[in-house]
Amino acid sequence: MANVNFVNPSTIHSPLGYSHVAEVKEGKIVFISGQIARDKKGDLVGKDNFTAQVRQAFENLKSAIESVGGTLSNIVKLNYYVVDMSRLQDLRAVRDTFFRDKERMPASTLVGVTRLAHPDLLVEIEAVAVIDIQS
């Protein structure tokens, strides 16, 4: 993505697994609703299993961005909502299987919440992506 510049200013602490800034120079901006651990049929994946739920949420993000002609590498911003902040390392481990280019990690925000839309949900992940416009 030549139209996005990921920046970590030297005047801010060094981030662990994300970028502080994603500068969009041009392209189609795509907003992806928060994805949860439901499969194609709508069934919950991984009841009481945080790692399985994170994996399914990322699989859903992947499907969502691919539906509009993009890939996970087009994602420039991730927002995480988790009910158990102690599981951050597990979230990062799964994330790193989907986002491997450590020089181009999306900007991100992590928020601890008391509950999501359904009591069995443990995580929700939303995204913003930029897809290059072909001339």
- What's the average model confidence in pLDDT over 34-63? 98
pLDDT band at 135 (very low <50, low <70, confident <90, very high): very low
**What CATH number is given to the structural domain containing 94?**
3.30.1330.40
Domain count, the chain: 1
pLDDT digits (tens, 9 = 90+) for 55-79: 999 999 999 999 999 999 999 999 9
For the chain, the DSSP string reads -TTEEEE--TTSPPPSSSBSEEEE-SSEEEEEEEE-SB-TTS-BSSTT-HHHHHHHHHHHHHHHHHTTT--GGGEEEEEEEES-GGGHHHHHHHHHHH---GGGPPEEEEEE-S--SSTT--EEEEEEEEEPPP-
| Structural domain that includes position 16 | 4-131
Q: What is the pLDDT of residue 134?
A: 64
From CA 131, how far away is CA 25, in angstroms rounded? 11
pLDDT digits (tens, 9 = 90+) for 76-125: 999 999 999 999 999 999 999 999 999 899 999 999 999 999 999 999 99
